[in-house]
Amino acid sequence: MSATAGHVSGRSAREPLEVLIVSLGSTEGLRRADEELRDSLVRAGARVQLARARPPQPTRTMMLTDLAWARAARTAALDALAVHRGRRPPTILYSSTTAALLWPRPGAIRFDATASGNRPGRHGLWQRPLERRRLREAPLLLPWSEETLDESPASVHAGDRVCVLPVPVEPSGPPVPFGERDIAAITYAANPLKKGLDRVLAAWRSVRLELAARATAGGALELVVTGVSIEELARAGFDIGAEPGVRVLGSVPAEEQRALLRRSRVFMCAPRREDYGIAQLEALADGCALVTTPAPGPYAALSIARAAMPELVDDDLRAALRRALLASSCDAAARARQLLAPFTREACDRLVRTRLLVALRDLCH
């Protein structure tokens, strides 16, 4: 898609493109992804407004939760568009299919996963058909990964309106040698049941007892849990309390999360479904060994882990964790960082500059 000289528009091709990102921001990962996209568009020369949906009150079902967030996104979009009343509106980019469900105007849709994949059965009775309609109507689709594209409805694959646009992932500091890391394992457990924290804890407890008895793991035998508090875990049925070898930190700032990754030998997870896996990609970028079970969903880090450290991708999480903690080094971490080249900020900026900006300008004409 590219602009042609025959187009007549109220905006010159030399004028900065005005873009409105309607940000759902229902998770830390989504918020950071939207901020990265905003910054990348600004570096490419666009003027960007980020309109954040106001978090709604918690509800009891996924159907009601998605409706509340979709209404919040519509309100955020309308409020932002009101500022442009009487002059040419910006090009709209909805971040997530949920943000686009009740859109006031068509626009591009960027998404990590679809309701057709992560809202099965009764959980997505109204979302799935409306999502299919929005995906057909959107002039531009921006899935986060090829895996996202593979899982999407057939209408997403048609035509030339699709551009895969990853979320940038960079190392957060100089690499720390594997043997100098003082945290044995870390896991990110926001939405602990979906993330499989029960399976992570079972594997951790078994391996910790074995290695503590043998005194062979090196460093402190501690599992750090972030993204969820003790109180939230208790409500989800996890009774951890002051369990030896497990430290729950709750939700931590992004800089602190990355600092913890640089100190950790292993990032461990067992998701029942993974919609992308930013936490795992960041762990690989910061040199962790990724111990994970295979999982359904557009799990972008899974193919990298399978290529770089296949012995640590295993349904037997205990065996994979044991192998990782008994290793004296992790040469696979360097291979993983090489495979992350398409996810660098430079690579993503190039896509934004050469493809996304051109496609968004076409929407103005």
On whether the CB atoms of residues 223 and 204 are closer than 8 A, the answer is: yes
> Measured between alpha carbons, how far is 108 from 140 in angstroms, rounded to an integer?
5
Strands of the 18-23 sheet, one edge to the other: 47-52, 18-23, 91-95, 108-111, 141-143
On whether the CB atoms of residues 245 and 204 are closer than 8 A, the answer is: yes
pLDDT of residue 4: 33
At 122, list the tokens. Answer: 């009764």
Domains (ranges, CATH) in the chain?
Answer: 18-168+344-364 (3.40.50.2000), 178-341 (3.40.50.2000)
pLDDT of residue 57: 94
pLDDT of residue 129: 95
Buried b (16+ CB within 10 A) or exposed e, 12-34: eeeeebbbbbbbbbbbbbbbbbb
pLDDT of residue 333: 86
Sites in the chain below the pLDDT cut of 50: 1-10
pLDDT of residue 166: 96
pLDDT of residue 9: 42
